Amino acid sequence: MGWIRYGLSTLLVLLAIAGISAGGVALIAAIAATTSIGFVLDDLIGDGEELTKPPPTMFCIANLYVAAPLLVLLHIVHMTAIVRVAAWDGLAFLEIAAATMLVGYLYALVGATVGHELVHRTHNAIALILARIVLGFTFNTSFTVFHLACHHRYVGTLHDPATARRGETWLAFLKRTIGRQTAMALEAEATRLRRQRRSWFSCHNRVLYGQVYTLAIAAAAYGLANSGGLLAFMSAALFGRIAHELVNYIQHYGLVRLDDQPVEERHTWDCRRLISNALQYNLPRHADHHLHADRRFWNLTNRPAAPMLPYGYQTMAVLALVPALWRRSMRPLLLEWDEKKASPSERQAIRERGWDKLC
């Protein structure tokens, strides 16, 4: 079971590559399989148990390291399909639009998730290069700095732009978080370089040279399929970035941590759905990740004191797109968190901010 669990995302990318290459019915089949696994089977199958015997470590690592070359291949196949549309008038525009959405979804599901896992390997130069490649597909290479220097430090507080505030819609969160994440990453890099007596504007700035990866991917899109390819890539990248930020939105939504408090299990929403954890390399075991940031994904465990999401990650992300449904789903969970898990000082902060009326 572990082999299937930690190889599932890789299989989906391979399926997408085959489907987009063939087009037509094969593309429809690839889209149907991907959506049914991530959005339907996830909640039908329900929660998964801990693996008594994980697959070999090398297998787990290989699935991370193969993500970058597979996404590059997916990018090339996507661009090839754009050229094919230009050559064959009979191919429907809707087919390319569907392929672009599938590609964008995988940029988030595989690229952002694998990138997240690899950025924590701070002493592994190859891992960090691969992280920037996969994150480059969603214009998010600054994540390599922001996530470690800012998010893990400020999670749950008002200082963290990746923590969705209570009552904040996903669209408001999106407008606030993307720019602020980049700004905080730049600020963190400026501080680091100042200590090293180096210029902020230099090749040593990891946020600045990280943009080279995205520019290279965009240049490849233009070189392979001209302006149509560039437009398709940017559309897929935007779709993927929104999907990634929706996951950020649901991971800490409405939870409160004060500046002087340590991070605890209660400050992160967990999810025990089998498919969500399989597709995203145990990222939904998010509380354990914040308590042990350097713990490898196959060693992450469910934390009993962490608040629990009612559905899988993909289902919750879709619910978040409809604010009324999202509030209806989260209101009883937040009220329970306030009553049973929040500290007295956190409850006071919730009242002072007026958040007790925004559940």
Residue ranges of domains in the chain: 2-323
Is the pLDDT reported for residue 59 higher than 60? yes
Average pLDDT over residues 225-231: 94
Query: What's the pLDDT at 4?
Result: 84
Is the pLDDT reported for residue 88 higher than 60? no
Average pLDDT over residues 101-121: 98
Is the pLDDT reported for residue 90 higher than 70? no
Query: What's the pLDDT at 54?
Result: 76
Average pLDDT over residues 36-43: 93
Question: Where does the pLDDT of residue 50 fall: very low under 50, low under 70, confident under 90, or very high at 90 and above?
Answer: confident
Return the half-sphere exposure (C-beta side, CA atoms, 13 A cut-off) of residue 60.
19
**Mind listing the pLDDT tens digit for each residue in 209-219?**
999 999 999 99
Percent of the chain residues topping a pLDDT of 70: 97
Average pLDDT over residues 4-16: 95
**Mind listing the pLDDT tens digit for each residue in 278-322?**
999 999 999 999 999 999 999 999 999 999 999 999 999 999 999
Mean pLDDT estimate for the chain: 94
Query: What's the pLDDT at 1?
Result: 64
Query: What's the pLDDT at 91?
Result: 53
Lowest mean pLDDT among 84-88, 124-128, 215-219, 296-300: 84-88
Is the pLDDT reported for residue 86 higher than 70? no
**Mind listing the pLDDT tens digit for each residue in 91-110?**
577 889 999 999 999 999 99
Is the pLDDT reported for residue 17 higher than 60? yes
Average pLDDT over residues 234-253: 98
Question: Where does the pLDDT of residue 358 fall: very low under 50, low under 70, confident under 90, or very high at 90 and above?
Answer: confident
Query: What's the pLDDT at 89?
Result: 54
Average pLDDT over residues 1-9: 84
Is the pLDDT reported for residue 83 higher than 70? yes
The pTM assigned to this predicted structure is 0.95
Query: What's the pLDDT at 134?
Result: 98
Is the pLDDT reported for residue 87 higher than 80? no
Is the pLDDT reported for residue 2 higher than 90? no
